[in-house]
Amino acid sequence: MRDSKGREINYLRLSVTDRCNIRCIYCMPESGVPLVSHNDILSVDETIRLSGIIVKAADIRKVRITGGEPLVRKGVLDIVRGISSGHPGELVLTTNGLLLRGMAKQLDAAGIERVNISLDSLRNDRIRLISRRDIRLEDIEDAVAAAFDAGLDPVKVNCVVMRDINDDEIEDFIKWSRETGVTVRFIEHMPSRLSGDTFVSRDEIIKKASAGGEVVRQKDDGTAGIYSVGDSGQTFGIIAPFSDPMCSFCSRIRLSALGTLHSCLAQEEGVSLKELLRNDAGDDVISDIVRGAVMNKPDSHGGCVHAKMWKIGG
Ligand code: SAM
Ligand code: SF4
């Protein structure tokens, strides 16, 4: 459906958990997130029912399962099956990849079409530092291989660029993406728990990528700008919520694991659909509330994006 600014809203990001098996320095507190009781999180059936209502009410064409880490959610395959059976559009998933090797084929069979995998460095010492866990590059390369093997491609790899942490790896990532067959997308770091001047702008990323040849913007893919580098035909993406906000084309809404609908990443409050559901509201009532929230989607994030990505669904 169109919102009051005429934007086509057709993309639901569905967070199925606020928990995670790692602790990225820009996302989660080292000690983990404050524990929310299981009863406060949408059940599998509630998740399927609410997402079905949202999909119909707003004519959603794409659903992304996210989190927290969606693959730690008990029942995630049931959620995927439940959504895919009633949803004619795209169904995709974002993961840190650690559990993907054992689940890729089941995810494919359940209805996931492709996956995005997050990886912020190609160096084991830095992967450890950023994730605060003993993860190695080969773990993520195994996940990438499992995704290809299960047909969950094209595989995109998302890398949050942070000054003095991994911003010297742009060229290496582009080379690595050529070797592995993934598309790498660099993400501008949004304000987070990480202190200091960690922000690296789109222009700086382009400058660093230019070491491999002339960088030319080719097209847009959702919120990412797609660039070619040199004559090799190699491409990469940049998601630049600050340098290139794309709010005027934003097509997204989000449902958190707590059952709250957020029509913008900057919208901390949102509308509790869980309360309506648990108070026996019918599909029609919930649909009207969903359409109202979509209609009133904010014009832009105004530079004030939600830092708790694990909570709202990154
Ligand atoms: N756990 C999954 C993962 O890491 O892919 C899915 C959820 S995670 C919140 C989704 C994406 O949000 C990841 O690619 C992550 O790098 C990104 N993200 C989290 N915090 C961010 C921040 N402060 N700035 C930019 N991207 C961020
Ligand atoms: Fe977990 Fe993803 Fe957040 Fe990293 S970015 S801590 S993998 S939810």
pLDDT at residue 195, as a whole number: 77
CB distance 271 to ligand 2 below 6 Å: no
Q: Where are the domains of the chain?
A: 11-312
Q: What is the pLDDT of residues 243-252, one digit of tens each?
A: 988 888 899 9
pLDDT over threshold 60, residue 135: yes
pLDDT at residue 314, as a whole number: 63
pLDDT over threshold 80, residue 306: no
Residue with tokens 């989190």: 67
Q: What is the pLDDT of residues 61-107, one digit of tens each?
A: 999 999 999 999 999 999 999 999 977 799 999 999 999 999 999 99
Cβ pair 9, 303 in contact under 8 A: no
pLDDT over threshold 60, residue 223: yes
272: closest CA among 293, 242, 243? 293
- Cα 5 to ligand 2 centroid, rounded to whole Å: 32
> Residue of the nearest CA to atom 14 in ligand 1?
118
Q: How many other CB atoms sit within 10 Å of the CB of residue 214?
A: 11
Average pLDDT for the chain:
93
pLDDT at residue 191, as a whole number: 82
pLDDT over threshold 60, residue 253: yes
Q: ∠ CA 34-134-200 to the nearest 5 degrees?
A: 75
Q: Which atom of ligand 2 is nearest to the CA of 131?
A: 4
- Cα 309 to ligand 1 centroid, rounded to whole Å: 6
Residue among 13, 27, 33 whose CB has most ligand 1 atoms within 8 A, to mutate: 27
Kindly indicate the confidence band of residue 192, based on its pLDDT and cuts at 50, 70 and 90: confident
Q: What is the dihedral of CA 209, 118, 145, 63, to 10 degrees?
A: -110
Q: Which atom of ligand 1 is nearest to the CA of 158?
A: 14
> Residue of the nearest CA to atom 8 in ligand 2?
68
Superfamily of domain 11-312: Aldolase class I (3.20.20.70)
pLDDT over threshold 60, residue 307: no
Percent of the chain residues topping a pLDDT of 70: 96
Structure pTM?
0.95
pLDDT at residue 15, as a whole number: 97
The rounded distance, in Å, linking the Cα atoms of 74 and 68 is 13
pLDDT over threshold 60, residue 305: no
